[in-house]
Amino acid sequence: MHIPDGFIDVQTSAIFAGLAAAGVATALKGARTQLDEKTAPLAGLTAVFIFAVQMLNFPVAAGTLVGPWAATLALAVVLIMQGFLFADGGLTAIGLNVFNMGVIGVWAGYGIFLVLRKILPKNKSSISLAAAIGGLLSVPAAAIGFTIQYAMGATATFSVSTVLGAMVGTHILIGIGEAIITGLTVSAVLASRSDLVYGWKNNVQKLEIRSAN
């Protein structure tokens, strides 16, 4: 879903570069309080995994694993590397892409995850299932983000509703692949190191005691 240069005009790209920068700044703040020495390596590994899976043309919902702030940052790192090194995603479109995948995709997926976690029974399979469905819907959510940008500043003149229908339809299909990858990844990490999984941990222990060293 990497937008190349030229699809969206410069003004709209600039607006979303600002919004993406604000999102990343907020994520930096949030991640600073949420991450510790123990969970930081998982955030790094998550970024690596996102890069690997995106080479297979799938996005990854990472909010469950490392929390939404670190997930936004992980995606921003990956998208910037992809844009600059691998010529995937235009350089003027980096703001558009970080906003769609790193902000809308992450937070939509994480929001859905939180709602489902509340409804479903409190066990590990529910966490994996909730993450998978969150992943499924995060993809069309990001696709809607593109459609909004298209409506605001497309260089082409096809109707917005045509683009909306095609974007959402195609990305629900991609979302199914995303759901499978997310479900498998989250259950694999839960099975081996549930102590590191943000979406599981902060459900089990609401209170965190920090040693004052």
Partner 1 sequence: MDGRTMFKSWRSEVLTNRKFYLSGLVVSLFLAGVISFYASSSPDGLEKVAEDIGFIQTAKEHTNSKGTLADYGVKGIENERASVGVAGVIGVVGTAIVAGIGFRLLARKPKNSTN
Binding-site ranges for partner 1 (CB under 8 A): 1-7, 28, 31-32, 35-37, 39-41, 43-49, 51-53, 55-57, 70, 73-74, 77-78, 81-82, 84-88, 90-91, 139, 143, 146, 154-156, 158, 162-163, 166-167, 170-171, 173-174, 192-193, 213
Question: Do 22 and 99 form a contact (C-beta atoms < 8 A)?
Answer: no
Distances (CA, A) of 1 to 44, 46, 213: 22, 19, 45
Nearer of residues 81 and 115 to partner 1, judged by Cβ:
81
DSSP state of 196: G
Question: Do 198 and 66 form a contact (C-beta atoms < 8 A)?
Answer: yes
Single-letter amino acid code for the residue at 70: A
At closest approach, how far in Å is the CB of 166 from partner 1? 4
Nearer of residues 52 and 115 to partner 1, judged by Cβ:
52
Q: Which residues are CB-neighbours of 186 under 8 A, at least 6 positions away?
A: 64, 65, 127, 128, 131, 132, 197, 199
Please give the Cα distance from 90 to 3 (Å, whole number): 6
Nearer of residues 2 and 117 to partner 1, judged by Cβ:
2
Torsion of CA 62, 186, 49, 169, to 10 degrees: -60
At closest approach, how far in Å is the CB of 60 from partner 1? 11
At closest approach, how far in Å is the CB of 9 from partner 1? 10
Nearer of residues 3 and 117 to partner 1, judged by Cβ:
3
Nearer of residues 111 and 177 to partner 1, judged by Cβ:
177
At closest approach, how far in Å is the CB of 96 from partner 1? 11
At closest approach, how far in Å is the CB of 175 from partner 1? 9
